[in-house]
Structure formats: structure tokens, C-alpha cells
Amino acid sequence: MADAEPIPLSALQHATSCMRQAALIHLERLWADNRFTAEGDVLHAVADKGGKRQARGVRRVMALAVFSTRPGIAGVCDMVEFVADVPFPVEYKRGKPKLHRADEVQLCAQALCLEEMTGQKVLEGALYYAETHRRVAVPFDTDIRALTETVVTDLRGVLASGTTPSPTPHKSRCRACSLLEPCRPQLYARPVLAWRSKMLREPLQASPMPEENS
């Protein structure tokens, strides 16, 4: 994938949660802020300043730019801790752990980049959630690696097609989305609901049998 434009790591988080959201942002170039995106910006403000820190044998690098030519992805890690030169990515998130694996996919993509760049196997990373003030360890096992590769492939296909997909069926994910207004997922359900309502009001009538020729 070296000849293709790299997919941003953040796009993988969007795509795992809702492929339509990812297409609206990275294909149609739409964006809108809400309280949740503002809180995320504040949380990332410190990491985005960059720099290095050393503490108890752990070297911490903030805002580290990473890439991987094989899947064709690139972005910036909030923080990477190096212990004996082995990288350990840490991603900052507002809120608390989610029911889906979007955050884990973004973190795993960082690990794929770090493995290619350093030649070291990255076995684990962590997600730090501001609401709980805790790290959640994320082992980069076969399942999350496979899911990450699948999301990369699926998103690349969507971007290449130039077509924005339908809204996610997981409607609970729409409530916190800053693109709820331009997306308008409720409009997609209306034609089907209207058709069902019409069918309930007007039951299907049997067509008369054609007359046989005498």
C-alpha cells in the first residue's frame, strides 16, 4: 500500500464505530463540534505539545508521528512509553470504556505502525479514560489485529468508491456524534416506516385470476 494515500489512524476509530461517520469526515470533508469533541480537544492539548520525559526507567514520548507502509496508515500517538526500547502506546480518551472496539482498533493500528518503525513486537498498549481516571490495558492479540486489518481494508474500499454508506444500525452511537445533524440518520428509516405503515393500513389485495380462453 506504499503507493496509496495513508489512512489516518483517527479514521479507523470513526470507521469501527460508524462507517458512515468516517465517510462524512474523510470523504465528504464534513465536521462539526459538540461538547464531547470539545472535551476531547482539551484532553489532547497536553499530548499534542509533544516532547520527551524520563521517569523510573521509562522514556515517554508525546505526540509521536507514526506510519506503516504495509496497511497504509499514519497518524500521531498521544504518548508512547519505551521500556528497554520496546514501545507501549497510550491513547487518551474522554468518557469511559465503550461497548464496541473502536478505541482498541485505533490503538492497535498505532502498534502496527510502531512495530514496522522499530522492529520490535508490540504486545500491549493502554487506553486512558478521563472520566474514570484509569488506564485500560489492551493486549494486541490475534482478534484485535484481524479486526484492525479488516477495518483498514473496508474503509479504504469506501473511500475508493466515493460513496457514503448508510447509517449504522447501532442507533445508540448516534446520540454523542457531532455529525448527527448533517448525517440525519432518521431520514433513512422514514421511507421504510412509511411503507410499513401503508401496508398495515392497506392490506395487499389478491389480484383477480385471468379468464381462461374458451
Domain boundaries, the chain: 7-199
pLDDT computed for residue 173 by the predictor: 72
35 pLDDT higher than 50: no
pLDDT computed for residue 160 by the predictor: 95
The string of pLDDT tens digits covering residues 130-153 is 889 999 999 999 999 999 999 999
Extract the runs of DSSP E, i.e. beta strands, from the chain. 7-8, 51-55, 58-68, 73-83, 86-93, 124-129, 134-139
Residue 69 class from Cβ within 10 Å (0-12 exposed, 13-18 middle, 19+ buried)? middle
Residue 200 class from Cβ within 10 Å (0-12 exposed, 13-18 middle, 19+ buried)? exposed
Residues 168, 162: Cα–Cα separation, whole Å: 18
Between 34 and 104, where is the model more confident? 104
Amino acid at site 112: L
CA distances from 102 to 1, 118, 127, 151, 162 (A): 23, 25, 11, 10, 23
Is the pTM higher than 0.85? no
In CATH, the architecture of 7-199 is Alpha-Beta Complex (3.90)
